[in-house]
Amino acid sequence: MKTKQLLLSILALALLAVMPAVAQADPVTLTLPSSVNVTAGGSITVIGTITNGGAPDFNISSWSINLGNPLFTFDDSAFSLSPLVLGPGASFGPTSFFDVFADISLAPGSYSGTFTVFDDIRQVNVTQTFAVNVTPAGVPEPVSIVLLASAPSPSPVFRKPIVLLVSAIRPVAVFMMPVVLL
């Protein structure tokens, strides 16, 4: 009987020791799309929301973006418009948080990224992971290739000179460019 009471007392004490940690859980949530799609050589705007679900205030001190490849770059100037403090129940978004730029030489595939917002005053942060799916850069359509091929050539073989008489002393040559109609 004494062993049972001792075990119950230890269990109750352990539960009381853990409860303050549960009560301290940060109610701040960061919401981003789970994945974004970008073409190699292009860019995509990532839209998100940060919400403080309860007390205390969340102080937006700084943030960081980590992308899975050095051929990615980003512009996070849009997030600098966020409020410095999110009070209880306050949110920022949905709005543009940052832009991701994919280098033209980036191989197609799925890359992992993270966005973290720091509260340096309370020494807490909130992080959201997302995927950046890169698709290959487009290939020109056949019609575009025909148009490029029919552009004026610098070679004099394709030019036909027409001599105009501007004055009785000096003739002037004018070159006609071939035109291809489709």
**pLDDT tens digit sequence for 134-157:** 999 876 666 555 555 565 555 554
How many of the other CB atoms lie within 10 Å of CB of 28?
Answer: 21
Q: Which residue has the higher pLDDT, 172 or 63?
A: 63
Confidence of residue 180 (pLDDT cuts 50, 70, 90): low
Domains of the chain, first to last: 6-135 (2.60.40.10), 149-176 (no CATH)
H-only helix segments in 54-174: 142-149
**Cα–Cα distance measured from residue 113 to residue 141, given in angstroms and rounded to the nearest whole number:** 33
Mean pLDDT of the chain: 79
Distance of CA 23 to the CA centre of its chain: 35
**Torsion over CA: 140, 146, 151, 155 (sign):** positive
**Cα–Cα distance measured from residue 35 to residue 136, given in angstroms and rounded to the nearest whole number:** 17
